[in-house]
Structure 1
Amino acid sequence: MGGLDCSVAVALLGALVLGAARGAGAVEITVPRDSDITILVKQGAPSLRPCHLFTAKRHVTMLTVKPGERTSFSFTCQDPEKHFVLEIQKNIDCTASPCPLGEVPLQPPAAALPALNRTFVWDVRTRKSTGLELRFSGPRLRQVGPGDSCPDGVTYTISSRVDAAVVKIGTFCGKGTVSRIKLQEGLKVALHLPWFQARNESGFSITNHTAIKRLCIVESVFEDEGSATLLSANYPAGFPEDELMTWQFMVPAHLRASVSFLDFSTSNCERKEERVEYHIPGSATNPEVFRLDDPQPGNMAGNFNLSLQGCDQDPQSPGALRLRFQVLVQHPQTESNKTYVVDLSQERTLSLSIEPRPKPSPRFKAGCFVCLESRTCSPKVTLAPGSKYKVSFLCDDLTRLWAIAEKTLSCSDHRYCQRKAFPLQVPDDVLQLPVQLRDFSWKLLVPRDRLSLVLTPARKLQQHTHERPCNASFSYVVASAAPDLYFGSFCTGGSIKQVLLRQNSSVTLRTYAPGFHSEVPGQGLTVSFVPYFKEEAIFTVTPDTKSKLYLRTPNWDRGLPALSSVSWNITVPSGQEACLTFSKERTGVVCQSGRAFMIIQEQRTQMEEIFSLEDDTLPKPSFHRHSFWVNISNCSPTSGKQLDLLFWVTLTPRTLDVTVITAVVGGGVSLLFALGLIICCVKKKKKVNKGPAVGIYNGNINTQMPLQPKKFQKGRKDNDSHVYAVIEDTMVYGHLLQGSGGSFLQPEVDAYRPFQGAMGDRPPSPPPTCSRVPTAKLAEEKPPPCTSLEPETEPYTFSHPSQAAGSNRATHVPLLDPQEPGLPAE
């Protein structure tokens, strides 16, 4: 190029005299008049320690040596390579005459230059119709993005021209796949060498080429398995308007290539449309045209071309077209010959994504691609509802992929949905895929304040806790659509029979092991729509007699949401006794407003105990022989003081006290004996006295108080004041046993009858959040853990009865004094 042959290079090298004495003497540079070379010495990266450049006894920041000039300079420091850089520019004008061809030498060689970081720049100008080709004779190049560096510090920056504008094709390091770059209308190559690199060749040659009628063509050659990442011109800035750029890939016939877009953006087009085009040998539809957001082709055998086409942009808001993509070349996989049909044509809300697991590997690894119709392949594919798909995989290890599905189940008409049940089942087309189903989520939507949700499992569920973790191959993750309300993770094999949810919620089937395929079909949940209720959630639970039942409040890690309420309906089987135990003595919650309460209510007797979770200690282990409610209601807690409770229930068989049984039997015998005597006496008296058969006292009795003198004229043994005239079927005080309907209530004496009525179907209503009502506490005596001291026949000791609306409370007048005992002060 203006003397790039060997003889000219030697002559130029002889004329260019450089003397170097680091930090001690002057450096002299002489540039021949006809060399078209300009040398610049200028400051590099700023440094804390100053170093100055001196020439002609004056301090300068940059020194320029032009053709025909001789200049001497020196540095004031011993390490000028940390402060200054050297740039050697050569301008070659081929607009009037053909460009010189062949290997491009370094002029001057690196050994003749001062030990500074140096950049050789070749700027070649040609006519618009002239094409040039850069061939890299050394190791092929690897393109790097902005901010990336090369391990050896040697980089090539290649640019082209579009009219008067310079367009950057890219920056390249060694050890890659790029072998040639074809350009039109001139080129510019900048070779950067670090100061310690003793390199004497440029590593590339320039040849003429016919007009390519596009911005550039980048050739990438693969000899074996590997990958290459390439970028559009001017990346990350915008691709030139209405330009065309092509990449040519040379792939051995026994390998397969797949393309995936790593990053892209589009501009605002006024005319035409931005697109990519593929020319694939053997394809009947060449070129194959794709949008940038389409899945790109994969599993391609042999060589192929990829082109990026821009558009006419809006001058007011042009936007930016850019593309960064990867080409992966690997051996064909056996799985790529199998096709799986996923039929979503009848689905309206089900979408399925197949994507790689988040496990990046620093070394090269054969890629995993999902292909549609065996040609359109991508690392991630989303199948939309309403279509039928043929899916295949180009992957050496399918465990590197998983599937994520989502389906929406909504009810817009509460009159139609109420009491209807819908199964939450994974479709067979999804289960048959050879990749792990990571998540299958159902979004459950209900009309606001009209309906709520009921989840009923095919097998009872267990709540995941640290004390009893789920070890199954899958679990159900239940959360509310409201923010910060996560009910928990549940697996099969527990005691939870039903979960009621107040509002819109999501249920996610999450898998953990490959064996879930065999377990999922026998499982499943059913969702029903029921009338609206105000509890955030209600859990219906039947504990197992063989193990502890662990339960915890929602949002375990962040605390129960403010002003929310959750209940547990705990069923106690017949013949069993439940021990309710809490994991700590106090909750630690501090309320900013409102009150936090817990209510424990017996469902048979409707008696309840209320505890302030802010002030009171949590109850000691308590025993329940009948089903009961546990309700927890939160206040608005202060920051950092959240409400979270863990409790457990254990069942033990009921036991009867032998002494009590003997006393009861003895008392029953004595009572029967006494009744027999009374009957005999009454019958005898009835035969003697023929008076009228009335059920009243003798009217001749003196009604004044006994033990006062002269009020009874006869002794008790002589008068008849202690004898009824007649006692028929009804006792004189029998009206106290008379019910509201007029029938007489017969007392049960020695027979236990199990409760046959309906259990409480609604949880206890908590007191108002601002209430300061005193709370009834359990007895202070600490019983032995989970052992009952109360025999079957002993009476219960109750707190005050609840007056919640809708409860099945007894309304008859009690036989005893109706006044409640005094409650302890708060």
Structure 2
Amino acid sequence: MFLNLLPEGSRIMPVHLDQDVVVTIHRNAAEPECSVCVGKAPDQTCDPQYQRLTYSPDMSVEFTCPNPQEIFKMDINREIDCTGTGCPANSVQTKDIFSDFNRTFTWDLKVLASQTFQLDFPEPGMRQIPEEETCPDSHTYSLKAYPRSGVTSLGSFCKGGPVTTMQVRFKGRVALQVPGGVKADPVVFKVSVGPETKSKHGLVLIIVELPRGVTDTSFFSADYRRQFPDDQQMQWNFSVPAMHNYSVLLLDHTAPECIQDTVVVQYQKENGKTLRLSLTDPQPQHQQGNFEMVLKNCQTNTSLPGLTFSYKVSVMRSGHPVVSTVDLTQQEGISLLLEKMSSDPFCEMRINSVIKEKILVPAGTKASLSFLDCPNEDVRLTATKAIGENSSCTYNCRSATSCPPTALAVPLLDFSLPVPLHSFTWNFTIPNNSTLDLVAPAGNLRQSIPGQECSQASSFRLTECDGTPIGDFCSSGTLQKIQVHANASITTPGRDLKRSIVPLLNVSVSKEISEGLIYTVIPDVSSVTTLVTPNWPNGMKKFSTVSWIVRVPDQYKALLKFVNVSRPKCSKLHANILVQMLGQEEELLSRQEGEEIEKELVVSNTFYLNMSNCKPETGHFSLLTDILVYFGTSLICLVCSYKKLTKENSAYITKGNIFRPSDRHFSKTRSENESHVYDSIDEFLVYGHLLDDHPYPDSLPSGKMQVDSYQTFTGATDGALPVIKEPDPEPETGQYKAFLAPSETFNPSRPHTPIQLQESLGFQDRRMVDNELYTFKSTGDIKAIRLSAVEPEASMSDDYL
């Protein structure tokens, strides 16, 4: 819509109306002379007082004066008939037209005589005001009903209040007044058919949701300042928040002279209890729970002043605050932080009588805390202890040599606080050119990774001082030591504040290391050890470095399998992966971000795996690798770790004693068990052709290993043969097993016969074939046994599953 200034001083505007909208133009000022004209000549009609506009595809309005907005006002009306199948959709949408004029948008609502129409207001609801007042945003709403006694004003309302719903019987009108020059921004309320009503005297039902906290809300009866209709009633349904008290106070009222019946203010609680009071009775005070309030008028003497009624409902908290005094003067370096985890104002926290959303109790101070209506889940309590040069604790560490080792344990914190401790954090500030060393009080540590998560009871989180995560860790693993070349934080889940716990970690400070993070790893020879980069599965911090020093025992080898490697595109420097044996210059593996990396790598001594990150342009740098340590050159340990052997398979070791140093010992003697008897050997377990570095090459023809016959070792024994201690049976897991359960068809066990140590790789212990069972009878000559003509070859990668 726009206005044009015509030479004659008239103003003309095009008007675009929806089909169900009617606009009425009223004069509201006597002067100056001005007419409003509709249509075009010769059919144009003009009137100085009134015009009614309905839908027309091409319509314009002309005013014969230059400032018609000072003379005329607009009533923009829409009828909403809900007597059929329901109310039409989008029935309360408003198009802002005639924005220069004072305008009243009206919606006429109608339902069947026995029904009500319902108005639902979106948040933040509506609040009632006296009819002579206007709303702060210049958008003032009013509601009228049409009972048989005549038009009745049900009240005026503004945006923002506890009124959420109104139900009016039969017919009514909603009006919105907007002054000229103010853009219309109405509340988009919903109109629907409400429930049926049997009472013929009910004007309106107003549903109110009272807010939490301390509030006072005012309400006014129908036709306030005039008189409430005879024999009519008005009802309010109040929803009171939990743990709050309400009180009703009459503000201003006049009592009519009743010809029949009396004026009653009736209250009904959720439990069905009804209370009937007069206008002079004390109204309910300090009550709890939802309630209904009904104002009923009598038949009055109309020649005298009638019933007027206004009141307020006051709400306040009913709970009692939990008070606690916190004294940190005896807790060196410890501070407390309490945070509200919910935005709901229902919970109220105070420190020294001041309400706070977040409370910090600094180290070395005292504070009085109170909590009102704060469930445990709405408040999080964390404790932090600062350790280092800038802290006030006794751990005053100015150099690596002056930093005493310390055992981390959550101290005794008995503050009688109503919320549990969520976590306890140690913040370490170490000197320059030094390193923070972390070890378990007993045993080793392990990192929590998907599929191998730590339990919350024994875990801790390690982060750098800038908040960069390193990882979650717990006890019972393969990490002997964690070294961090930075200030760091260690956080453990909270426990009972009133009970101290055993030490979580032993922490010390040592000399500077060359990497940002170093793990010392002692792999378990009976299972796979998994290593992951810091902040797994997310990427490493830019320009950061990490190393794993992997201890490999003598005569053992380690198989590295790079299971999951993610490498970035670098914008500065390179992302490197390096494998190198400790104390040697030769690099076993060195790859940058753009180079292909092997899937597997065998290392025969203690080594370190190093990773250094670049500044990624895209992607991130992360790695997950599995390490399996096996004895000597045999791959049987490797197979046993990934495949559960069947009953027909026996373990076979090609070199050295047939027992590993880590094996446990049988509790039974050899004569009491059949561990020395073999059921069968599956041919795929014979890996003689894979052995290299043979110490006795002359014992084999043509430099190759003899795999089709068995011959005993005939070298010198240097005296009596040792008696071999048998290990206890191991549980049936995927780990290495020296022997399997004997067959039920075994002959009775033979007496114990010591077996000579077999130091030669030329010794091939082939004592079974084709389900024929053989046992050692003596240390003398053993008859050769024919094996199958063809033995399958097995690769390292095929058995690594």
TM-score band by shorter chain is: 0.3 to 0.5
TM-score (norm 2): 0.45
Give TM-score scaled by structure 1 length.
Answer: 0.44
Higher helix proportion, which one? 1
